[in-house]
Amino acid sequence: AKVKSVEFVKSSAKAKDCPRDPLRRPEFAVLGRSNVGKSSLINSLVRKKDVALTSKKPGKTQLINHFLINKSWYLVDLPGYGFAHAPRSAKTDWSAFTKGYFLNRDSLVSALLLIDSSVPPQQIDLDCANWLGRNNIGFTFVFTKCDKVRATKGRRSDDNLKKFQDLISNHYQEPPPWIMTSSVTGLGRDDLLLHMSQLRNY
Ligand code: GTP
Ligand code: MG
């Protein structure tokens, strides 16, 4: 499941502008709240610093960005949702084009729904999980910033994870898979790459 090559393919402003691949190579889309660490996770997976652009300020990624991995599958970086201070246009865009992407992308194998482990469970993330479920889009929960959980040695941040996992197990008869990651330490990178390679093989 090693990443040997990564190529930036294209930024798209609309779902219908996304690359049309005659080989129909499979793709995985990274979604989650603004600032959750989507672009950082992609960089971590491919072991490059700035293949995907990141920022301390939420709202950095504004387009649908396709990256081709090992010439055989794609990782897709998306704009975040739930950024309260985004200009109105950016907020409407999320529902218009990111939802459009999910509803129309035949080559999508699975979504990676990123959850910030350094904050308590957020309703908007649960809403997003429910929206994916209602639309039959398979996804994996990927907890980000788990290095922060470690750094605070215990209680509070671990509680965030525990609470979220309790919510998941109460909500689903068969909960989606979940993986803990950190883009700072590389935690979960190999697990996530292996998980995606298993999903591609059906
Ligand atoms: P948008 O593009 O705005 O939706 O944000 P994003 O989800 O792509 O987040 P991005 O990767 O730009 O990261 C946001 C901030 O979180 C940056 O300051 C990152 O350095 C930080 N960050 C991301 N991942 C981690 C992580 O695993 N651990 C820590 N400690 N910080 C992280
Ligand atoms: Mg981003």
Concatenating the DSSP letter of every residue in 4-52 gives --EEEEEEESSGGGS---TT---EEEEEEBTTSSHHHHHHHHHT-SSSS
Given this model, what pLDDT does residue 90 score? 52
Round the average pLDDT of the chain to a whole number and report it.
90
Q: Picking from 5-9, 90-94, 150-154, which range would have the lowest pLDDT averaged per residue?
A: 90-94
Given this model, what pLDDT does residue 62 score? 86
Which helix H or strand E contains 123, and what residues bound it?
Answer: helix 123-134
- For residue 74, being part of any structural domain is answered with yes
Please identify, by atom number, the ligand 1 atom nearest to the C-alpha of residue 54.
12
- For residue 55, being part of any structural domain is answered with yes
> Once rounded to an integer, what is the mean pLDDT over residues 41-54?
95
Best residue among 35, 125, 143 to mutate for probing ligand 1, ranked by most atoms within 8 Å of CB: 35
Ligand 1 neighbourhood includes 44 CB (under 6 angstroms): no
- For residue 82, being part of any structural domain is answered with yes
Q: Picking from 59-68, 79-88, 193-202, which range would have the lowest pLDDT averaged per residue?
A: 79-88
Given this model, what pLDDT does residue 87 score? 56
Given this model, what pLDDT does residue 94 score? 60
The answer, yes or no, to whether residue 200 has pLDDT greater than 60, is yes
- For residue 1, being part of any structural domain is answered with no
State how far the Cα of 28 lies from the Cα of 102, in Å rounded to an integer. Answer: 11
CA 142 to chain centre: 7
In which band, very low, low, confident or very high, does the pLDDT at 151 lie, cut at 50, 70 and 90? low
ipTM tops 0.85 = yes
The answer, yes or no, to whether residue 123 has pLDDT greater than 90, is yes
Best residue among 11, 183, 192 to mutate for probing ligand 1, ranked by most atoms within 8 Å of CB: 183
Q: Using alpha carbons, select from 69, 87, 85, 86 the residue that is nearest to residue 77.
A: 69
Q: Which numbered ligand comes closest to the C-alpha of 119?
A: 1
Please identify, by atom number, the ligand 1 atom nearest to the C-alpha of residue 43.
11
Please identify, by atom number, the ligand 1 atom nearest to the C-alpha of residue 77.
8
Given this model, what pLDDT does residue 60 score? 84
Number of domains comprising the chain: 1
* 60-79 tens-digit pLDDT: 888 999 999 999 999 999 99
In which band, very low, low, confident or very high, does the pLDDT at 152 lie, cut at 50, 70 and 90? low
Which CATH number do you get for residue 105?
A: 3.40.50.300
The answer, yes or no, to whether residue 89 has pLDDT greater than 70, is no
- For residue 114, being part of any structural domain is answered with yes
Shortest-distance Cα residue to atom 30 of ligand 1 = 145
Does the reported pTM lie above 0.90?
Answer: yes
Given this model, what pLDDT does residue 120 score? 93
State how far the Cα of 22 lies from the Cα of 98, in Å rounded to an integer. Answer: 22
Ligand 1 neighbourhood includes 60 CB (under 6 angstroms): yes
Q: Using alpha carbons, select from 195, 196, 199, 139 the residue that is nearest to residue 172.
A: 139
Residues of the domain holding 77: 6-200
Measured in Å, residue 37 CA sits from the centre of ligand 2 at 7
- For residue 19, being part of any structural domain is answered with yes
> 3-class DSSP state for residue 118?
coil
